Structure 1
């Protein structure tokens, strides 16, 4: 008699990660539009899974910046008005400029920033938009974490993670747009060079100006 085959259940982490990836695809493709509710019951039925699994997947999306949730309400896809985006970039300029000033004064190792730029360059050549955005985010998070100022890094992460998720949504996964980052790549290099030179005021100004230019470039690409 042959032994009956047993169905091996997928690990809970794998299930929620897979669901989060599927929901993210719905968001980036625009099928789940910006600001729309992510109804747990609907997606549980759609994917044939337990509602708790969808809830856990949504929590991953919230951590990655693709969704937001207020107490007692359904999660919604992240959405920003043009005015809100402009305000975020203004605050980014202040935070990242401050980080650059601290780093210039400390003479700290900048190899993690250089590694992120290298990865951005590779992603542009490969037209891998997802990897490009991941490397770009890593650069700016590292810039704000290297100074060792916990308040600065926490506020930067709160702004940057959902902003980059929103950028991904706005670009809709269009790989051809990866080449639009070429001018910004050199600005990232200029930021690192300015910090490495050790002139604190110049480093801060260079980074502030670069962030504000990134805001202008984002609007150009989105249009």
Structure 2
């Protein structure tokens, strides 16, 4: 995402604009000191990841996910992303494992340092995307990618306790340990457990 995308995303994450609320292009343009064109482009990019919904002749609104929507997304992710991680275990080399470990450690350091939810969520999304990039099945990568909604993950993180945030970060390190041993069963189980942890936190809200 661009800096403008990130700035609008942050307004949505902090609920300056709440789920279902209309996003006024002129208002956003004035806020950021730009024309409507880059605002419109940013909203289209955010729509592609499910952050906003753009309707013809109606403009953009913050996407509203019901509890059932969130539960369905996490359940599907638990099945498919864990299988993608299993396939990745057969393809990763030592350099890939090192990169994954750095990514997992980066998130852990952000959690320990009490970084912003946006920064922690970004580190989380980066780690998951990196694991997914090593899945050799392109169609599965696309399917999993369509289920990872950054705004859903970020909103869920906002409700984590500090201990839950640390546990989530440690899960990433466990996944890397499993990948480093190319243990497909362990990788699959670790990823599924990690996503189910997020699922139960999400539906508890």
Structure 1, unpaired ranges of 5+: 1-16
Q: Which residue of 2 aligns with 1:81?
A: 66
Greater Cα radius of gyration, structure 1 or 2 = 1
Counterpart-to-counterpart distance in 1, 2:201 and 2:88: 26
Q: Which residue of 2 aligns with 1:33?
A: 18
Distance 1:104 1:57, change over 3 A: closer
User: Deviation at 1:45?
Assistant: 5.4
Counterpart-to-counterpart distance in 1, 2:32 and 2:194: 43
2:153 matched to 1:167? yes
- 1:140-151 pair list within 5 angstroms: 140-151=128-139
Q: Which residue of 2 aligns with 1:56?
A: 41
Give 3-state SS (helix, strand or coil) of 1:69's partner: strand
User: Deviation at 1:46?
Assistant: 5.7
The answer to whether the Cα contact below 8 Å between 1:141 and 1:156 also exists between their aligned partners in 2 is no
2:106 matched to 1:119? yes
Cα deviation, 1:20-57, whole Å, max 9, x if unaligned, reads 45433432221211122213244345656433232123
Choose from 126, 132, 140 the match for 2:120: 132
TM-score (norm 2): 0.81
User: Deviation at 1:207?
Assistant: 1.9
Structure 2, unpaired ranges of 5+: none
Q: Which residue of 1 aligns with 2:201?
A: 217
Aligned residues: 202
Cα deviation, 1:69-115, whole Å, max 9, x if unaligned, reads 24454222122111111111111112221122212333534222211
